[in-house]
């Protein structure tokens, strides 16, 4: 069985804050506090905190990224699109990890993996700059050998396999997606990449994901925040870590 590590995505906590306090981060009433939430996740056993600084700043704000970078006891994993403004912020903040993701303003959350194979020319200078800054670079991709080959060509350190199709299907289609993830994990590991996964993983389907060989880290947010409504954030994180261990 894999020794899986958990990175907690706190974007949805920021979404709750922005629903009441957009543009009011300096207000004494501004809540919930992301730094406090991150500290709770760390205390519960998370090995890192994930945030997605989107171009439209719909949840995470620039100031959040700087505050988290300064306060975390573990590490910051910054998800980001390949846009010049966000790249420059990442190079100033220098998070431990950057995960390059596709970004569509019309989507509610990231849907689908990055087409690294189709964007080699655009991604090459970005990955090189992040590597030169000492940042661990991951690509959020579909469980597809073509995309994994592109990650190697780009000199990324990791791939994060998109598990959304697996999470959102049932029956034979679900089993087929699980098979794709298993095969992609073996393939990526064989090429020397760290293999992570994320999107749609929850307290139920974790039973299948935890059996996938070579997985290192899972980045999970929505199901944890949803569970926290009922049991609290620390308990929600601890419960998921227990489920990851089986």
Catalogue the active-site residues: 52, 79, 199
Spatial distance between the Cα atoms of 186 and 204, rounded to a whole number of angstroms:
23
For residue 218, give every residue at least 6 positions away whose Cβ sits within 8 Å of its Cβ, in sequence order, or none: 4, 5, 6, 7, 196, 197, 198, 201, 206, 209, 244
Spatial distance between the Cα atoms of 11 and 234, rounded to a whole number of angstroms:
16
Spatial distance between the Cα atoms of 151 and 140, rounded to a whole number of angstroms:
10
Spatial distance between the Cα atoms of 14 and 205, rounded to a whole number of angstroms:
25
Spatial distance between the Cα atoms of 88 and 130, rounded to a whole number of angstroms:
10
- Quick one: CA dihedral 168, 81, 138, 155, positive or negative? positive
Which segments of 57-132 does DSSP mark as H helices, in order?
Answer: 62-71, 84-93, 120-132
């Amino acid at each position: 069985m894999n020794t899986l590590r958990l990175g907690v995505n706190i974007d949805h906590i920021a979404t709750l804050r922005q629903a009441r306090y957009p543009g009011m981060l300096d207000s004494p009433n501004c809540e919930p506090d992301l730094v406090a939430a991150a500290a709770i996740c760390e205390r519960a056993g998370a090995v890192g905190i994930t945030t997605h600084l989107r171009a439209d700043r719909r949840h995470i704000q620039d100031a959040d990224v700087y505050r988290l970078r300064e306060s975390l006891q573990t590490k910051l994993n910054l998800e980001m699109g390949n846009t010049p403004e966000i790249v420059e912020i990442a190079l100033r903040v220098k998070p431990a990890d950057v995960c390059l993701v596709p970004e569509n303003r019309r989507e509610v959350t990231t849907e689908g993996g990055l087409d690294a194979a189709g964007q080699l020319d655009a991604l090459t200078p970005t990955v090189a700059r992040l590597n030169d800054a000492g940042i661990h670079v991951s690509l959020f991709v579909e469980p597809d050998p073509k995309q994994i080959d592109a990650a190697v060509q780009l000199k990324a350190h990791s791939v994060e396999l998109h598990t959304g199709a697996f999470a959102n299907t049932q029956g034979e289609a679900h089993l087929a997606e699980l098979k794709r993830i298993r095969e992609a994990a073996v393939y990526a590991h064989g090429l020397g990449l760290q293999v992570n996964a994320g999107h749609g993983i929850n307290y139920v389907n974790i039973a299948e994901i935890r059996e996938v060989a070579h997985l290192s880290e899972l980045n999970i947010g929505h199901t944890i925040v949803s569970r926290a409504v009922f049991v609290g954030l620390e308990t929600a994180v601890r419960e998921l870590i227990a489920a990851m261990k089986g």
